[in-house]
Structure 1
Amino acid sequence: MAPDLHYETPEKDRVPLTEKVIYGLGAFVNNILAAAIGGMSIVLNLGLGMNPALVGLLGALPRLIDAFTDPLMGYISDQTRSRWGRRRPYIFAGAILVSISFALLWQLPEGKSQDYYFWFFLIGSLVFYLFYTMFATPWVALGYELTPDYHERTRVMAVQNFMGQLAYLISPWFLWIMQHEGMFDNLASGAAGLAVAIAIAVTILGVLPAIFLRERYQDLATKEIEEATAGVSGLASQFRERTLDFFRGFAMTLRFSPFMKLCAATFLVFNGFMMVASFQSYIIIYYVFAGDQELGAEYAGWSGTVSAFGTFFVIFFISWLSTLIGKRRAFFVAIGVSMLGYALKWICYDPRYPLLLLLPAPLIAFGLGGLFTLMGSMIADVCDMDELQSHERREGMFGSIYWWVVKLGMAAALAIGGVLLNATGFDVALGGHQTEQALLLMRLFDIVVPLVFSGIAIWLIASYPITEQVAAEVRQSLEARRGSVS
């Protein structure tokens, strides 16, 4: 078979646009929560005076708990048998519970000590992330089984990424909203009000995928579960068998080389960005605008908005490009363009020409826009190859471990980011009179870290083995073994 031969998507494998959009609403919920919990945490430093290192620690510690809860939730979702499916009950309940916990998390009383705020926010974050996992892990897994087609998977992920990016049209303005004098008295009260508005939107939109989408592999998975548990009787025996099965599945997933390459590449690209994500706002406020928080927040908002609009183009361009040159090469293009954007920050973040800071934004958008369009599609291909070897549909385990790796890296990134900010010598008390060394180091970290991480990611994906031809052969083998076309 010629290497450049492409397969056409059969009509039966196409996902209707309405279902793609509904699945994408889950991405909006997922992204608005992730953006809010990260972006609003600046309130702890600028509004309540907490040390940046402690703020970074608050971002890191709850995600360490995800190292256990994410894979466990993935396994529970894979093994669930109910009339409503394996994923949908958890998506429905999780959307409601995560909304409530998020709203309560930001009701921070004023005039308390730094220790009080630390423990209040830490305990609240642990509860929030538990319900976040309950929603997000089954939702991710549901996307992997919406279609078995190589190219339609990319289109599904493109639409869901498009919908998710709508959150990033809104989130860059969170700081501006929270400190708007006409709406709120201060940053802390602004965070409390904004959190309630976000919670209402999450509740309404988050339950829709559970109500309107179907699970393609529900019956197949139920049959596999029944075959695997046949002959195991008694609660103690079932618990022991399920516990062993969880750890066996966890170890198998971590040993699956193509999957781990995807995890490592995402870890590098996403967390290289996240490690210095907060630096952009600090650089814009304190370097470009000499400490003017209101004007700096406005331009940071515009930069985020330009990036979000750029990402909309990136998503569909990369989806189209991947059908021409393959998912792996499309990844190289996306990350390469983003690296150019990072490098341009050195020139374009200039106090004399502040509008130039908008120029790198659409180029940097190729990084995350291309990453999360391609990775979801590639992991769905990995799930098929795994089924060929394991005789199990384990979308939940793969999705949970993938996002566990991302969040574990994010935990390290946020913690290191706070330490790096302290290492620059930045002092919020100095306002617009930061030292030249602090501003220089902030700018260097903001550029060099994502450049290096992205370069390593490209090197890793160069050896990723699942091409379109390989994916087609895997599907044919699965359908022959099942005795029917999926």
Structure 2
Amino acid sequence: MGKRSGVTAEYATPEADRVPFAQKLAYGMGAFVNNTLAAAIGGMLIILNLGFGMNPALVGLASALPRVTDALTDPLMGFISDHTRSRWGRRRPYIFVGAILSGVFFAVLWMMPTGKSEMFYFWYFLIGSTIFYLGYTIFATPWVALGYELTPDYNERTRLMGVQNFIGQLAYIVSPWFLWIMTHKPWFSTPVEGARSLALAIGAVAIVIGIMPAIFLRERFVAAPIAAPVNVSGTTRPQESMWDIVTRNTTLFFKGFATTIKSGPFRRLCVATFLVFNGFIMISSFQSYVIIYYVFGGNQERGAEYAGYAGTIGAISTFGVIFLVTWLATRIGKRKAFYFSTGVSMVGYALKWFCYDPTRPWLVLLPAPLMAFGLGGLFTLMGSMIADVVDVDELETHERREGMFGSIFWWVVKVGMAAALAMGGFLLNATGFDVALGSQQTSQALFLLRLSDVLVPFITSGIAIWTIAGYPITEEKAHDVRRALEARRTAAGTQPVTSP
């Protein structure tokens, strides 16, 4: 047989392991809903200040506190989903119900009455968004876990994640227009009216599109091995008190959580994601400051225009990146594809030092397509690689924990993002930048702004590559694990059962 990057051609994807394109689209619809809701609740926060007159500090507090609850409920929902047994599967019932709850709660969240006090709006939004995030978790955590089990094939997993990432990116083409929609005078008399109408539309989209993965997809592991089942119908073991049930499941939850984070390959994926994503997030605002105050000498209109051009080029380039990285990963392996995509983004970050030039402002557009490789490649590859880790975990523990792995991974992303945004503010202050100075920023402040804008994501991305260098699951290893699992399932008579 011929060779392909050191792996024999016997690893070509069997037809039985391929996910039909229509089903990939159905799974990708979940990504569109997931990203739209996440972008909308952040992008519409400004209406609390512009429309309801809330103090920006209270707005920040009301939006941050529910994230604490969200971070706690994600792993819990992952555990519940992994241990559910129903005729419809482990994931689909929650996806269906969660999509409906998310859409309804999001719409209600923005139906605040006018003429109330600032503290009324604070508590309304705080309690309402906490409830919304609960519905959002019920939808998102099982949806993520479902993607890990749709195919057992090493390369088909990458193709699946490429499609879902591509469709999910469409949300970020639409979401930048939310503020314009809410404040467009010919449509709405006030921003509050615009927010209410937009929330109703987003809620409807979340419900109609969000239930599609539950309707059109089927689970492979309806009867997956677990330590102790939690029956969705509510039946329990004979002669067990409620306290016994709570105690047993609490013990299982913490045991599963501990086992998951002990996985060395999984920790490497979490650390690499934390570094690449949050290195970018930490200095996400620096690029605009550099373009406005260094390239255009404080001209906010011109600087914002070019920053917008660069952002649009980056967003459009991400679609091409997803295609390329997906194809590349099936040729040279996921680890090497990560080296490539992250390495190209590092080149883009480095080019900013030379291309952000006051004498040639058009050069600010050149690094954008290269930087798009960072996040575009990251979220195409990570989901596929975590699915491989789940198989290794099953081989070692005799349990399947897609929900727990997915929830902890995204918990790391959320907590890291909050920390990165906070650290970014401190770093901005440390540069000496003072918005009150306008175009009269000191040369040292501008130098440190530029240096941070380049070095922070460059260094974190480089460390991420070093981290993934020790990731042990190659294509050959993944196929060995699969063969061992299938042999064990056959011997035990527990081959995957597809949900109805």
Residue identity in the other structure for 1:22: A
Q: Quote how far apart the aligned CAs of 1:414 are.
A: 2.5
Q: How does 1:78-477 map to 2 (within 5 A)?
A: 78-106=82-110, 120-178=124-182, 180=184, 183=187, 191-221=195-225, 225=229, 233-284=240-291, 299-350=306-357, 353-423=360-430, 440-477=447-484
Counterpart for residue 4 of structure 1: 7
8 Å contact 1:57–1:414 — kept in the other structure? Answer: no
**So what's the TM-score if we normalise by structure 1?**
0.87
User: 8, 14, 18: which one pairs with 2:18?
Assistant: 14
8 Å contact 1:318–1:330 — kept in the other structure? Answer: yes
Residue identity in the other structure for 1:149: D
Q: Quote how far apart the aligned CAs of 1:201 are.
A: 2.2
How has the CA–CA distance of structure 1 residues 105 and 28 changed in structure 2, closer, same or farther, with 3 Å as cutoff? same
How has the CA–CA distance of structure 1 residues 285 and 89 changed in structure 2, closer, same or farther, with 3 Å as cutoff? farther
Residue identity in the other structure for 1:476: R
How has the CA–CA distance of structure 1 residues 259 and 125 changed in structure 2, closer, same or farther, with 3 Å as cutoff? same
Residue identity in the other structure for 1:317: L
How has the CA–CA distance of structure 1 residues 44 and 342 changed in structure 2, closer, same or farther, with 3 Å as cutoff? farther
Per-residue CA distance 1:242-298 (angstroms, 9 max, x = gap)? 111111000000111111110111111112222232444555556556677666655
8 Å contact 2:346–2:458 — kept in the other structure? Answer: yes
**Structure 2: distance between partners of 1:70 and 1:318:** 29
**Structure 2: distance between partners of 1:188 and 1:115:** 17
8 Å contact 1:338–1:365 — kept in the other structure? Answer: yes
**So what's the TM-score if we normalise by structure 2?**
0.85
How has the CA–CA distance of structure 1 residues 190 and 298 changed in structure 2, closer, same or farther, with 3 Å as cutoff? farther
Counterpart for residue 25 of structure 1: 29
**Structure 2: distance between partners of 1:443 and 1:117:** 39
8 Å contact 1:172–1:301 — kept in the other structure? Answer: no
Residue identity in the other structure for 2:278: N
Higher-Rg structure is 2
Residue identity in the other structure for 2:319: F
Identity fraction in percent? 65
Q: Secondary structure at the match of 2:88?
A: coil
How has the CA–CA distance of structure 1 residues 226 and 126 changed in structure 2, closer, same or farther, with 3 Å as cutoff? closer
Structure 2's unaligned 5+ residue stretches are: none
How has the CA–CA distance of structure 1 residues 285 and 186 changed in structure 2, closer, same or farther, with 3 Å as cutoff? farther
Q: Secondary structure at the match of 1:466?
A: coil
How has the CA–CA distance of structure 1 residues 440 and 205 changed in structure 2, closer, same or farther, with 3 Å as cutoff? farther
User: 66, 70, 76: which one pairs with 1:72?
Assistant: 76
8 Å contact 2:83–2:230 — kept in the other structure? Answer: no
How has the CA–CA distance of structure 1 residues 111 and 449 changed in structure 2, closer, same or farther, with 3 Å as cutoff? farther
8 Å contact 2:294–2:446 — kept in the other structure? Answer: yes
Alignment length, in residue pairs?
484
Q: Quote how far apart the aligned CAs of 1:213 are.
A: 0.6
Per-residue CA distance 1:26-70 (angstroms, 9 max, x = gap)? 11111122233344446667886855x776655544333233211
How has the CA–CA distance of structure 1 residues 159 and 94 changed in structure 2, closer, same or farther, with 3 Å as cutoff? same
Tell me the C-alpha RMSD between the 2 structures: 3.4
Q: Secondary structure at the match of 2:220?
A: coil
8 Å contact 2:290–2:449 — kept in the other structure? Answer: yes
Per-residue CA distance 1:167-209 (angstroms, 9 max, x = gap)? 1222334455455555556766655554443333222211111
Q: Secondary structure at the match of 1:219?
A: coil
